[in-house]
Amino acid sequence: MSPTTIASQALSPWRRAVLKVGSNLLAADGGGLTTRYAEALAAFITASRAVGRQVVLVSSGAVAAGRAQLRAHAPFGSDLAARQALAALGQAPMIALWQSLSPRPVAQVLLTHDDLRNRRRYLNARATLRELLALDVLPVVNENDTVAVDELKLGDNDNLAAIVAALVDADLLLIASDIDALYSADPRLDASATPITRVDALTPEVLAMAGGSGSTVGTGGMRTKLEAAAKASAAGIPTALFSGRDPTAAGLLGEGQLRGTLFAAGRSRMQARKYWLRHAPAAPGRIHVDAGAVRALAGGRASLLPGGVLEVSGEFHRGDLVEIVDGAGRHVARGLSQYGVAEARRLAGKHSREIESLLGYSYGAEIVHRDDLATVADIETGESDT
Ligand SMILES: Nc1ncnc2c1ncn2[C@@H]1O[C@H](COP(=O)(O)OP(=O)(O)O)[C@@H](O)[C@H]1O
Ligand SMILES: N[C@@H](CCC(=O)OP(=O)(O)O)C(=O)O
């Protein structure tokens, strides 16, 4: 099980990754936070930034940090309320740990299941993360344990990291674990287990390899890592699992080499996104656009700006999928509207820089962002794929 027994493999070039760091790497069992393993991971983030790559960190460790702080002072239970209190106590020290290792400002982003399920809040979270990256700040995401109620908890940060990867349109999910790879069986229970360096499909046989967490501070074990890899794969994002305890593995990642397990993406990101845009049910609303916008959208790389909108009809809310049609009502594209029908109507024909003064706020310069658009050509060429 020594990390050096696993040969490294080349990773495809990436431009934006989500890196998930578990409690086990930030706090030893029962102990407080330590920079011991975080240092090499923070150095990897800094080195990535230096070559123009963006990293969003999903970090656990709040509960473990809270528990360690309280241990000497007061008794605490193990129920949900106690866990939520510990998370509240430990969240600031966890953020402070990353700030102490980052030359750039660090931003705290706390998310709940509700934020990701509600389309409006999903879009807001996405816009905030995009803005933080544009500001060259390091976002550190964790579940908002303090307010998440039991039945709505995301539960583990492996799955949260996969959702965040899709949210920020990442092209790689990195999971730093306390183990160097997925093994053919739980190595704690089976001494003959062997490391698996590549997984092309998360079949039932692969899922059966995973056991639970090997420690008291981690929550998920290998099972939640495989769930996360499956989510990322469906969104067109490959996942790389490696040991966060092995500083050379973090160093190798900076050189584009993985020593660990690579889970391939099930389809390309664009295919996954366009597939969803083609097949998801649209709201009963339409955005009618002028000839200039029709030409721009046909190119496949442009966003729909307010200036190209002629009029808006039907009913839709911010975040809904709407049909985009030309002046004669012919289908041009479909996409997620950043604005609701009343807002879009007020912005029709106006310049993006007028949005703020017209509405008193802005959700962005685009009515529909190009990442959220499928053109007629996309729809026709994708008609037969599944
Ligand atoms: N098939 C498997 N391959 C590798 N590790 C496994 C497997 N099944 C169970 N595990 C356990 O999962 C642990 C990693 O998950 P976890 O303890 O939650 O750590 P983290 O803090 O990295 O999230 C390993 O240390 C190992 O004990
Ligand atoms: N949100 C919790 C961590 C939950 C979690 O998934 O933990 P882990 O299995 O260590 O990644 C915390 O900050 O303590």
Question: At the topology level of CATH, where does 272-381 sit?
Answer: 2.30.130
Pocket test for ligand 1, best of 19, 41, 154, 178 (most atoms within 8 A of CB): 178
- Is 292 annotated in a binding site? The answer is no
The CA 64 to ligand 2 mean position distance, Å, reads: 8
Domain boundaries in the chain?
Answer: 3-266, 272-381
Q: Which residues contact 193 (CB under 8 A, 6 or more apart)?
A: 183, 184, 185, 186, 187
CA angle 273, 313, 353 (to 5 degrees): 70
ipTM of this complex: 0.95
- Report how far ligand 2's centroid is from the alpha carbon of 258 (Å): 24
- Identical fold for domains 3-266 and 272-381, yes or no, is no
Domain 3-266 fold: Carbamate kinase (3.40.1160)
214, HSE (Cβ side, Cα atoms, 13 Å) = 14
Taking the C-alpha atoms of 220, 228, 205 and 249 in order, what is their torsion angle to the nearest 10 degrees?
-80
Question: Is the beta carbon of 61 within 6 A of some atom in ligand 2?
Answer: yes
Which phi and psi (to 5°) does residue 323 adopt? Answer: -85, 140
Q: Is 177 in the pocket of ligand 1 (CB under 6 A)?
A: yes
Q: Would the CB of 145 count as within 6 Å of ligand 2?
A: yes
Instruction: Render each residue's pLDDT in the chain as its tens digit; 386 residues.
Output: 444 479 999 999 999 999 999 999 999 766 789 999 999 999 999 999 999 999 999 999 999 999 888 876 666 666 778 888 999 999 999 999 999 999 999 999 999 877 887 777 888 898 899 999 999 999 999 999 888 766 556 668 999 999 999 999 899 999 999 999 999 999 988 999 999 999 999 999 999 898 655 554 445 589 999 999 999 999 999 999 999 999 999 999 999 999 999 999 988 887 788 777 877 778 889 999 999 999 999 988 899 999 999 999 999 999 889 999 999 999 999 999 999 999 999 999 999 999 999 999 999 999 999 988 998 877 666 543 43
Interatomic CA distance for residues 356 and 361, integer angstroms: 5
Ligand 1 binding pocket includes 218 (Cβ within 6 Å): yes
C-alpha closest to that of 278 among 236, 321, 320: 321
